[in-house]
Amino acid sequence: MLSYKESLKILKETNALLEGHFILSSGLHSKQYVQCAKLLSYPKKAEAICSSLCEKIKEEFNKIDIILSPAIGGIVVGYEVGRQLDIETIFAERSNQQLKLRRGFKILENSNVLIVEDVITTGKSALECSELIKVNKSNLIGYACIIDRSNNNSAIKDKIVSQIKLKIDTYNNKELPNDLKKILPTKPGSRNL
């Protein structure tokens, strides 16, 4: 199992964790920015991170029938975790601003479902997936992600198993620390395109 330090090193090497001055999609400012897609563009490094996450998942959850991930961020992580654990993996995607099962994906009644994400911050997408599990009369057994940056502030009350937890402080315009004021901000998020 990879240590926190080893995981952090991989995230930085792949530019999945950047340091500087960032304006997040929420409009808040931060000294760090997470973009797991950068990690996932290095298959062997992503495999190592997911392998370590799979060890934690096996320690925490007994019987998993299906893995459900929200599109688009969770698809590759869900697939890799499913591949390594040899568990069927599906994803939900947005249609009319709502996550739905499409492409013939189904959750059979009474299935034990694990939701797998790349990053959990607010937990919004993961919670939308949990509603799909309820509608299909199945059992949510928990959540797993590469990076948990919820700081226990997400709406998720169930256990989150993560490879690494990051506390990333955010600031509004009026409370920027002096060191951030000296750095020109960038907007790296996918919603800022």
Q: Given the structure tokens 């991170």, which residue do they identify?
A: 49
Query: Domain holding 67: CATH number?
Result: 3.40.50.2020
> Is the distance from CB of 67 to CB of 117 less than 8 angstroms?
no
- pLDDT score for 63: 95
* Integer Cα distance of 103 and 86 in angstroms: 21
- pLDDT score for 12: 96
Low-confidence ranges of the chain (pLDDT < 50): 192-193
* Integer Cα distance of 181 and 6 in angstroms: 31
Write the CA distances from 158 to 115, 136, 141, 161, 168, integer angstroms: 11, 19, 8, 10, 21
**In Å, how far from its chain's centre is CA 68?**
12
Q: Count up the domains in the chain and report the number.
A: 1
Angle, CA of 129, 58 and 139, to the nearest 5°: 35
- pLDDT score for 190: 57
- pLDDT score for 121: 86
The pTM (predicted TM-score) of the whole model is 0.90
Phi, psi torsion values for 144, nearest 5 degrees: -140, 145
What's the domain range around 95? Answer: 4-192
- pLDDT score for 20: 95
β-sheet bridge partners, residue 92: 70, 101
CA nearest neighbour of 143 among 157, 129, 127, 160? 160
DSSP state of 186: B
- pLDDT score for 155: 78
What DSSP assignment string belongs to 98-110? EEEE-TT----TT
Maximum Cα interatomic distance, the chain, rounded to a whole number of Å: 55
Q: What is the pLDDT of residues 83-95, one digit of tens each?
A: 999 999 999 999 9
- pLDDT score for 191: 54
Mode of pairing for the β-strands spanning 66-70 and 112-120: parallel
